Chains A and B, each alone.
Chain A
């Protein structure tokens, strides 16, 4: 079909291009078409700055980003260095010189973990794993979800039916359960945990992209394109895809929060990141039996997970309100 359209003589092409530009200019005034995306984002940026929750979210995430990027500078010790030579014992309590800790004992502001490593340094390095893993999982899921949603919504018919039934099946499992099952098949580890979480979340993105496509497909500027003989792939790539981005970006930001939680959960269960890699979930799991004697070793790792999740949730909520106030309050 599309090949047939491209075989038209060049002068016709030019003519139709010209008409198409006119049509687009006419339509762009009233509708949010691809040509107004820059304006939308500028408005959204202004709105976000006005939202307190988004600012708090951004602030929380900035701290984490700084920790992750400058980890070697901020952390006083390498994350996996065992410090028994320096006279520390497993699970030594925090020692801060400024707060009256004996200046002769080495300073470890959050104490020592069960294997004699500086707990603070491990927490700092943990931010790298948490951020990278969550971003990777969401990017993978967004890529495949968008592709499936676009194809499904645009082509309809049996393509849509088959793809959406597969998505329904994936959605009918509680997400953590399915992620556990997938990791069991793939084997534990960081990459496999990322893949598992991505696979589990693909349906959410596929569904939201599909529903955007279904509504955009019927818009006048798409009909105009179709009438002008623009190829299906060009319509998909240049008219429909840009307009699905708004809800997708909001969902993806909130999705990073979920991914952070699920990666930590998988690692906590021993199926995700493996020791000695400093990851908050597995650090928490390693010390969970010591919660009654050394609760700080459990407390701070969980606090970091919460910090990260909270940051992305607040930012996602703020983005949603800024881009489309109708979507939620």
Chain B
């Protein structure tokens, strides 16, 4: 087990180095001069020379790469051209929004997708099964930006004066400013406490700001549902096909033959094995969620990683593009590593072999 973990961990190191190199190369290949992009009309040749000298842009490319690696190792992702603040500060502000959104979406995908998959796998070819699979096929095919816009229309316009009406964009009602927990509890302000306080729902919950909590919760529903649809459909399909496979195995027949209740057979014996591939799929959909977050955040006007990254690309804010892409890719690698570890933990066969 320990050897497996170590091997798996070591094998992700070249990938992370590759990601660093690719992100560095992509950022250097973006057309346009970083000095002119940063300074705009103020950029004269002399100023740009000084600028390039100061940021090391005149150095040979391998020296630049070395400095870039050294900076990253010390947690320095550079400074945003557009906002004039360190990229890490932007990450502290924006990452929690995306984690909250992706977390909520994953939660919806799992609590809806898994039971639907179980029902349609168990009642194979029944009306419920056919309906679920048609729904899942449509769910996978829906463009997330279209679904988002349609949900906005349905819940903010069509159902406007009903109790089902939901806010179509933003993170909180206008004018509502949440008090961070560190202020309320007189804790020191540092990167970590600031980062944690940006989780609006959690911050409101632990500090009993119910108005903020309900507003944040209502604002989160539509984007989370939009983002959840594709993973939900994938999870439902995977659960169904995996359960179908397991239900045909001999040990299930044995379990039934010795007179166990059907409920126990399906939910305890079959499901435990059927969930293994589902865990992998859930982990893999993390990448899908991050990609979808770019579109969802743009539509629902949420200042998360996706929207910041997209804005940075369109406004040529290279350091932000570089830093955010790096963080997203590395966290994707880490999540995949964790999924592998979880899989090993759940499946004794992998552990033994």
A and B interact physically? yes
Interface residues of A (CB under 8 A from B): 53, 165-166, 168-170, 172-177, 180-182, 184-185, 187, 257, 261, 264-265, 268-270, 281, 284, 288, 291-292, 295, 298-299, 301-302, 305-306, 309-310, 313-314, 328-329
Partner of B329, one of A172, A265, A269: A172
Partner of B146, one of A166, A169, A187, A284: A284
Flag if A265 contacts B290 (CB, 8 Å). no
Which residues on the B side are within 8 Å of A180 (C-beta)?
294, 309-310, 313
Size bracket, chain B contacts: 35 or more
The interface bits of chain B over 141-157 (1 if a CB of A lies within 8 angstroms of the residue's CB, else 0) are: 11111110110110011
Interface residues of B (CB under 8 A from A): 14-15, 18-19, 22, 26, 29-31, 137-138, 140-147, 149-150, 152-153, 156-157, 240-241, 244-245, 287-288, 290-292, 294-295, 298-299, 309-310, 313-314, 321, 325, 328-329, 332-333, 336
> Whole-angstrom distance from the CB of A234 to the nearest CB of chain B?
34
Interface SS majority for chain A: helix
A269-B298, A299-B150 given as contacts; is B145 within 8 A of A169 (CB)? no
Interface SS majority for chain B: helix
A177-B309, A291-B152 given as contacts; is B137 within 8 A of A314 (CB)? yes
Flag if A302 contacts B146 (CB, 8 Å). yes
Partner of A173, one of B143, B240, B314, B332: B332
Flag if B150 contacts A306 (CB, 8 Å). no
A268-B295, A269-B298 given as contacts; is B143 within 8 A of A174 (CB)? no
> Whole-angstrom distance from the CB of B339 to the nearest CB of chain A?
13
A257-B141, A298-B149, A302-B150 given as contacts; is B313 within 8 A of A184 (CB)? yes
> Whole-angstrom distance from the CB of B293 to the nearest CB of chain A?
9
A176-B291, A292-B156 given as contacts; is B30 within 8 A of A184 (CB)? yes
Question: Quick one: closest B residue to A289, CB to CB?
Answer: B149
Cα distance A270–B148 in the bound complex, in angstroms: 17
Cα distance A223–B272 in the bound complex, in angstroms: 41
Flag if B142 contacts A292 (CB, 8 Å). no
Cα distance A180–B144 in the bound complex, in angstroms: 16
Flag if B137 contacts A298 (CB, 8 Å). no
> Whole-angstrom distance from the CB of A119 to the nearest CB of chain B?
15
